[in-house]
């Protein structure tokens, strides 16, 4: 066969059908959201803790009032990492030359006694401490709060832990599993009692979505879930297993672009305890949620997430992906944390 005849018989070139891309976190900034930095228990009074965050590094310590602070990690003098420093008289002190910084991030003293340079400043993140975590908001001013459980915090027993693995995806990739109801059935073998959740019944805001369903776990246990995503990195779940309420939040941090750290927040009502079984119940809920993550793990560790050909059953997923495309990004700490 001649080269000419071979070329004539070759099939037409094929191209993959792709939806509009979703820029990776870090491109155009990072999602304007609350991010978990560390466990509250990791930051006792007097200790400075360093954590990689976004595309740089931050430090966490407690001020004189005991409240957690999150600031950029690098000293504006010569760039020493303040996590190897200490807390001196309630102020953050650099180990290199003993420059000191107050809660506003301003340098208030130098080790040599020279006047503190007025422009020697650290970036201070908005912070809140809740659910056993220290959270930092990526932005100058928070635009929404963390999700609440339907019961006051004082009525709950809360267990919080950090997972010891880093997934090589952006937070929204993991969170996209929540509106992907087909994956809930196919991968997790959860059945819906009243048909697939109706995407038109999802509740959307500019920073979240929620929906609910009743169904069964593969074990046959009855479940009733209200679940959703806040921003692009906080999974929320409030519901019941066999009629007993529990709450679950799984927030994702960004230690560097293209990767996530994960935390588990498990909650039970004190008044629901039977013969003091709250910890045993939380053990069971933790095992349930960890089994869901175990199902997802092989996919998350290998996926090249790029929306392509979808079907009508992907209506809620497609709306979430557009929500992610539209979600505001910012990076006011860029010049400080690098």
CATH number at residue 168: 3.90.380.10
Indicate whether 298 belongs to any domain.
yes
Place of tokens 């990689």: 52
Domains in the chain, number: 2
pLDDT tens track for 229-260:
999 999 999 999 999 999 999 999 999 999 99
The overall average pLDDT reported for the chain is 95
Q: How many helices (H) and strands (E) does the chain have?
A: 6, 20
Residue 178 pLDDT > 90: yes
Supply the pLDDT for residue 273: 78
- Whether 321 has a pLDDT exceeding 60, the answer reads yes
Nearest alpha carbon to residue 34 among 180, 168, 171, 173: 171
Q: How many of the other CB atoms lie within 10 Å of CB of 206?
A: 10
Do 122 and 72 meet the contact criterion of CB atoms below 8 Å apart? yes
Long-range contacts of 304-309 (CB under 8 A, 24+ apart): 305/169, 305/173, 305/176, 306/18, 306/21, 307/18, 307/19, 307/20, 307/22, 308/16, 308/17, 308/18, 308/19, 309/17
pLDDT for residue 11: 64
**Is the domain of 100 the same as that of 157?**
no
Identify whether residues 94 and 234 lie together within a single domain: no
Q: Which residues span the domain enclosing 180?
A: 153-325
- 303-327 burial code (b ≥16 CB/10 A, e <16): eeeebeeeeeebbbbbebbebbeeb
For the cut 50, the answer to whether the pLDDT of residue 1 exceeds it is no
Residues 176 and 308 in one domain: yes
Instruction: State the pLDDT confidence band at 19, using cuts at 50, 70 and 90.
Output: confident
Of all residues in the chain, the percent with pLDDT exceeding 90 is 91
The pLDDT assigned to 12 comes to 64
With respect to residue 125, please indicate whether it lies within any of the assigned structural domains: yes
Specify burial of residue 205 (Cβ count, 10 A radius: 0-12, 13-18, 19+).
exposed
Statement to judge: residues 237 and 128 lie in one domain: no
Does residue 87 register a pLDDT over 70? yes
Output DSSP code: residue 123.
Answer: -
The position carrying tokens 């990739």 is 173
Whether residue 274 is contained in a domain is answered as: yes
Same domain, 158 and 99: no
Residue 12: inside a domain: no
* Residue 127 β-bridge partners: 136
Question: Is 43 a domain residue?
Answer: yes
In a domain, 266, yes or no: yes
Mean pLDDT value across residues 113-139: 98
User: Average pLDDT for residues 291-300, to the nearest whole number?
Assistant: 97
172 and 116 inside one domain: no
Give the pair of three-digit tokens for residue 142.
């928070």
For tokens 């071979």, what's the residue? 6
Burial class (CB in 10 A: 0-12, 13-18, 19+), 100: buried
- 143, part of any domain: no
Tokens describing residue 22:
């979703």
Burial class (CB in 10 A: 0-12, 13-18, 19+), 98: middle
Per the domain annotation, does 64 fall within a domain? yes
d(CA 168, CA 261): 9
Q: What DSSP state is assigned to residue 175?
A: H
pLDDT at residue 144 is higher than 70 = yes
Which of residues 74, 105, 137 is at a domain's end? 137
The whole-number pLDDT of residue 214 equals 97
Q: Are residues 166 and 286 in the same domain?
A: yes
Shared domain for 170 and 270, answered yes or no, is yes
């Amino acid at each position: 066969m001649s080269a000419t005849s071979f070329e004539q018989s070759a099939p037409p070139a094929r191209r993959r059908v792709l939806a509009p891309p979703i820029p990776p976190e870090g491109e155009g900034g990072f999602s304007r959201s609350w991010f978990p930095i560390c466990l509250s228990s990791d930051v006792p009074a007097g200790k400075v803790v360093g954590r990689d965050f976004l595309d740089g590094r931050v430090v966490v310590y407690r001020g004189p009032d005991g409240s957690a602070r999150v600031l950029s990690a690098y000293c504006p003098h010569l760039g020493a990492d303040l996590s190897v420093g200490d807390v001196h008289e309630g102020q953050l002190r650099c180990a290199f030359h003993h420059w000191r910084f107050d809660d506003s991030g301003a340098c208030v003293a130098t080790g040599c006694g020279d006047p503190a340079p007025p422009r020697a400043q650290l970036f201070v993140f908005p912070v809140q401490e809740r659910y056993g975590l220290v959270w930092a908001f990526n932005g100058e001013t928070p635009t929404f709060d963390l999700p609440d459980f339907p019961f006051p915090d004082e009525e709950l027993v809360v267990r919080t832990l950090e997972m010891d693995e880093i997934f090589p995806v952006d937070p929204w990739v993991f969170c996209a599993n929540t509106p992907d109801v087909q994956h809930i059935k196919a991968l997790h073998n959860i059945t819906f009692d009243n048909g697939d959740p109706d995407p038109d019944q999802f509740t959307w805001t500019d920073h979240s979505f929620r929906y609910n369903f009743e169904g069964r776990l593969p074990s046959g246990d009855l479940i009733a879930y209200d679940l959703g995503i806040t921003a692009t990195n906080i999974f929320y779940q409030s519901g019941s297993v066999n009629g007993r309420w529990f709450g679950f939040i799984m927030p994702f941090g960004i230690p560097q672009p293209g990767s996530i750290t994960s935390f588990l927040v498990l909650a039970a009502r004190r008044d629901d305890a039977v013969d003091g079984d709250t910890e045993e119940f939380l053990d069971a809920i933790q095992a349930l949620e960890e089994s869901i993550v175990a199902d997802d793990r092989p996919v998350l560790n290998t996926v090249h997430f790029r929306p392509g050909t979808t079907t009508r059953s992907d209506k809620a997923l497609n709306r979430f992906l557009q929500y992610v495309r539209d979600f505001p990004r910012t990076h006011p700490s860029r010049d400080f944390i690098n």
